[in-house]
A and B are shown apart, each in its own frame.
Chain A
Amino acid sequence: MMARTLEVIVEQITHETAAIKSFKLVSADRSPLPRFSGGSHITTYLQTETGFIERHYSLTSDPDNTGYYRIAVRRNEDSNGGSIYWHDHVKEGDKISISYPKNYFPLSFQAKRHLFFAAGIGITPFLSMAKELKKKKAPFEIHYAAPSKELCAFYRHLSTFFSEETHFYFSKENKKMSTKLMENQPIGTHVYFCGPEAMIKGFADAAKVIGYSEKSIHFELFTPPKSGPMQPFRVKLNKSNKVIEVPEGKSLLDTLLQLHIDAPYSCKIGGCGSCQLHVLKGEIDHRDFFLTEMEKKESNVILTCVSRAKSGSLVLDL
């Protein structure tokens, strides 16, 4: 079943930096929008000439504001067209379908302190988290790397509302956001990363070395992890007895959906676990960031959006 969507109107477009625009979205029928939790995102469904583009963007507005949502989009020339469409085609007054808010990057409840590390547009999920923590008077720090003050989205917002908590690292001023910031922190500190894959990996690896447990490390990716060639493989569906060839360069999930097989999914980048299916036979090449090392070893589930067969074929419980 396709989830119910919310219809919104783009009320205002703001240039945050040369490459980043933010979009204020209000409910089309003026009814209140659902509240959301810090770190939530929405899926936007853009109807273009070549079909639907589904993209996920963090909500940067206040979680209790039911009057409007705000998202920020960085124009990415290398993207498959989502961000370019938002930048070049979406106008004030346009009507767009969005999902209800979802959260695959929630704040830890047991954390005593929260340290956020953002690179570039990776700042977006931390904006609603910071608002939520500030209301609860819970301790947190934002560490934010950007090329310069001019190219730093939400610089004024952060300097105004979170001046004490925010630390900027501008590479043009030769300031580097170091993983050493995570050292010597009190017990109960949780760390959160958002930015390019290499940055997340660097920080997550460093956090493990410093001694953070897997449960205290949180991150959100914007793009699917790059993990090797996408070789073709074969899949057998146990319940329907169908055999499917997954071609080179295409995901198992997209192959299933194209064949109108009702496979579950949400983020499509190996981060949420929604597309998890049970594997009855075959060796899995796990490429997601969702399953724990333990779960990957037990090896009877696959995230169809990014993972593949190690060799030969898989038998799925579908």
Chain B
Amino acid sequence: MSVKTTNQHMIKEIPLIKRFPFPFQKDSYRYSNNARPLESGKLADITPEYFEEIDKKRQILLNHHERAFQSLEHSIDGQWEVLEFLIDELAFIYPEYFSVIKNGHEWTFENKLLDEKHTFTFGDLSTLPYEPLDFIGRHVQEDLIFMGQRDGDLYMDAGQLCFPANWSIAFDIGMTYTEFHSPVPVFFDSGLAKKVLNFLLRIEAGKPWTRLNWTLTVEPILDTFPENFDEWGSKKEKVTSENAGQLVHLRVEDQRLFRMPRRNGILFSIHTHLISLDELKKNEDWLKRFFRVLKDLPDYMAEYKGFSLYKGEIIRYLEKSLTN
């Protein structure tokens, strides 16, 4: 099963270096609550990688469904709310790509990029091929996490996660915010996790937030699950200062947070972008800044982000690139 790609021409081709969300505002990076108001107010970005990434997502969901989609029974109402939110947004912002016709509870959603049309009854699970979040997630490049807000805490209630930076929705499902962040060094112990939780609990509808997170990945691999570590983890050993430009990719997660007012939950979206260091070189200011950030980065962060093994090789590669 693969998606139809004949409509690739409908998405405008813009070079990656011109549209990459570069994450560093200064020459040093530490954990902080770096969320800022999301001016555009929208969740979904459609990039030229749309067809390739949707195809990849659907393959993962077909072959390893439990790895990439998890939900608790009480999340179904929240999932319908997410589906409604996204369908309304897609049809409104991208009328050339999506449309919806609502006839009472009978909805027809059309994805014109993929030439797909679905008719279903809003609120009736038996009319959809998958759970609502699992259904709508197959039409956007973003990973989608729904957190329930209950009794002053946030719970991982449902999520479709195909492109994780080495974390597992199958492991985290049902946990509280504090529980699923406990592995993050310093962030968790310093009290910052609690501060951020307090911030999240008070996000209001109509006022979404965004932040960029980053790590490094060897080869352009989006699906870096802990569950398939054997497939991508060993690649780190291949990195040398000679090949780092092609192999090492800066991985940036454009994360967005929305209050879903019906169930009072939080929708967390992650759009993952990858760029090779050779490609990043096309913007020399970015490459210089990345070099300074890396030199300044404490070991515990390189360790947690999983590149301490080849950090020295990248720095040598960058030194060479910047003096040439």
Contacts and interface: CB of A to CB of B under 8 A. Distances in A.
21 contacts: A1-B37, A3-B206, A35-B261, A36-B261, A37-B261, A37-B262, A37-B264, A99-B204, A99-B206, A100-B206, A100-B207, A100-B259, A101-B205, A102-B204, A102-B261, A103-B264, A109-B148, A215-B152, A266-B202, A273-B198, A274-B202
A272 B204 CA distance: 11
B205 A273 contact: no
B207 A1 contact: yes
Nearest to B123: A64
Interface string B160-203: 00000000000000000000000000000000000000100110
Interface string A1-26: 10111100000000000000000000
Contacts of A36: 261-262
A276 B261 CA distance: 22
A64 B261 CA distance: 11
Contacts of A273: 198, 201-202
Interface string A139-160: 0000000000000000000000
A108 interface: yes
Contacts of B39: 1
Contacts of A64: 262
Given A1-B37, A37-B262, 20 more contacts: A3-B207, A4-B206, A4-B207, A5-B206, A34-B205, A34-B261, A37-B261, A40-B261, A64-B262, A99-B204, A100-B204, A100-B205, A100-B207, A101-B205, A102-B205, A106-B149, A108-B150, A109-B148, A215-B151, A266-B202
Counting contact residues on chain B (CB < 8 A from A), the size range is 20 to 34
A29 to B, nearest CB: 12
Interface in A76-122: 99-103, 106, 108-110
B262 to A, nearest CB: 4
Contacts of A108: 150-151
B236 interface: no
Nearest to B201: A273
A5 B81 CA distance: 20
Given A109-B150, A276-B198, A103 B207 contact: no
Interface of B: 37, 39, 41, 81, 148-152, 198, 201-202, 204-207, 259, 261-264
A107 B258 CA distance: 20
A145 B146 CA distance: 39
B176 to A, nearest CB: 13
A291 to B, nearest CB: 10
Contacts of B151: 108-110, 215
A125 interface: no
Which of B148, B198, B261 gathers most chain A CB within 10 Å? B261
A103 B261 contact: yes
A35 B207 contact: no
B81 A35 contact: yes
A237 to B, nearest CB: 18
A232 B259 CA distance: 37
Interface in A258-283: 266, 272-274, 276
Contacts, number: 62
Nearest to B150: A109
A99 B206 CA distance: 8
A195 interface: no
A14 B313 CA distance: 73
Contact of B261 (A1, A3, A101, A110): A101
Nearest to A103: B264
Give 6 closest A-B pairs by Cβ, nearest first.
A100-B206, A100-B205, A109-B150, A35-B262, A3-B207, A1-B37
B105 to A, nearest CB: 11
A44 to B, nearest CB: 14
A214 to B, nearest CB: 10
Nearest to B202: A274
Contacts of A63: 262
B170 to A, nearest CB: 23
Nearest to A39: B264
A110 B149 CA distance: 12
A193 to B, nearest CB: 17
B38 to A, nearest CB: 9
B150 A110 contact: yes
Contacts of B204: 3, 99-100, 102, 266, 274
Contacts of B149: 106
A37 to B, nearest CB: 4
A5 B151 CA distance: 27
B201 to A, nearest CB: 8
B193 to A, nearest CB: 15
B223 to A, nearest CB: 33
Nearest to A5: B206
Which of A35, A36, A100 gathers most chain B CB within 10 Å? A35
A128 to B, nearest CB: 11
Which of B81, B150, B198, B206 gathers most chain A CB within 10 Å? B206
A272 B148 CA distance: 18
Given A1-B37, A4-B41, A276-B198, A106 B264 contact: yes
A149 B205 CA distance: 37
A58 B180 CA distance: 34
A121 to B, nearest CB: 23
Contacts of B81: 35
Interface string A231-272: 000000000000000000000000000000000001000001
Contacts of B207: 1, 3-4, 100
